[in-house]
Amino acid sequence: MKQIVDLGLYPLDRPDSPDYAALVARCRERLAAEGMFELPGFLRPEATRKAAEMAAPAMATASHRHARSHNVYFRDTVEGLTDDHPAMTKVETVNHTLCADQLVGNPVIALYEWQPFADFLAATMGKPALYRMDDPMARVNIQASRAGEALNWHFDRSEFTTTILLQAPEAGGELEYRKDLRTAEDPNYAGVAAALRGEDPLLRKVRLKEGALNVFRGVDTLHRVVQVQGKVERLVTIFSFYDRPGVTMTAKEQIGFYGRSAA
């Protein structure tokens, strides 16, 4: 794993060391204060390039183009909201996805399967454990956004979102987000509507770095990827962990996201 992850900077292989404890503490502080943390250089440059290069042929020929008009909840109806409520405003998303079963041999799969990675993420999130998905497609994805395309405003289904940018575009492609916009007790529909109008002063925009590990609380953080510009596509890998074992998508969900089913 030392050829994939910079274990000198990020000692995930030494969980009992003071350096590991300090790293976890820093990540927790950033999550609390900023809603996210980023670890530049987490994936070594060689591994980052290899992951992008290995994905390129399948991305060009066998990826699923996912284009849809949706609201931030990815749901047709939301209890308590009418279809014309501003929080239900439709946005357009277009991206291209490779699933885990199309990434055999890619360094991102090796990282996902490495138990210390899950243990580290659990520690930063204050959880006793995190579990890899049983789903052969959804467990790890690589998504591409090309010129004029974007992953638009939404909340995630999983509590935390874990990604590594493999290839930055020439322009655009920033992550824009509003931390803690809602809670389990308060959906804050007025706040969602204001953010969609660009009227929330707490909206933040960050340009992620290639090879950097990025974690944020996507379930209550409204976020999007800004439209990509230029000839170089944006490539990001998305890791799916849950606080319980055995999670899979239904066949309907797989078809909706990936255009096919392994269920």
Chunked mean pLDDT (size 10), the chain, 263 residues = 97 98 98 93 98 98 94 92 94 96 97 98 97 96 96 90 97 95 95 96 94 94 96 97 93 90 81
Its domain, for residue 121, covers: 18-258
Answer whether residue 12 is part of any domain: no
Measured in whole angstroms, the distance separating CA 28 from the mean position of its chain's CA atoms is 18
The tokens of 209 are what? Answer: 């770095």
103 dihedral zone (left: phi>0; alpha: psi -120 to 50; beta): alpha
The tokens of 183 are what? Answer: 């809670």
Answer whether residue 7 is part of any domain: no
Answer whether residue 4 is part of any domain: no
Answer whether residue 254 is part of any domain: yes
Burial of 22 (0-12, 13-18, 19+ CB in 10 A): exposed
* Cα–Cα dist 243/125, whole Å: 11
The tokens of 217 are what? Answer: 């609380």
pTM of this structure: 0.92
The pLDDT assigned to 257 comes to 86
The pLDDT assigned to 38 comes to 97
Phi, psi angles (nearest 5°) of residue 219: -70, -30
Answer whether residue 263 is part of any domain: no
Answer whether residue 88 is part of any domain: yes
Answer whether residue 13 is part of any domain: no
CATH number at residue 124: 2.60.120.620
Q: Per the structure, how many domains does the chain have?
A: 1
Answer whether residue 6 is part of any domain: no
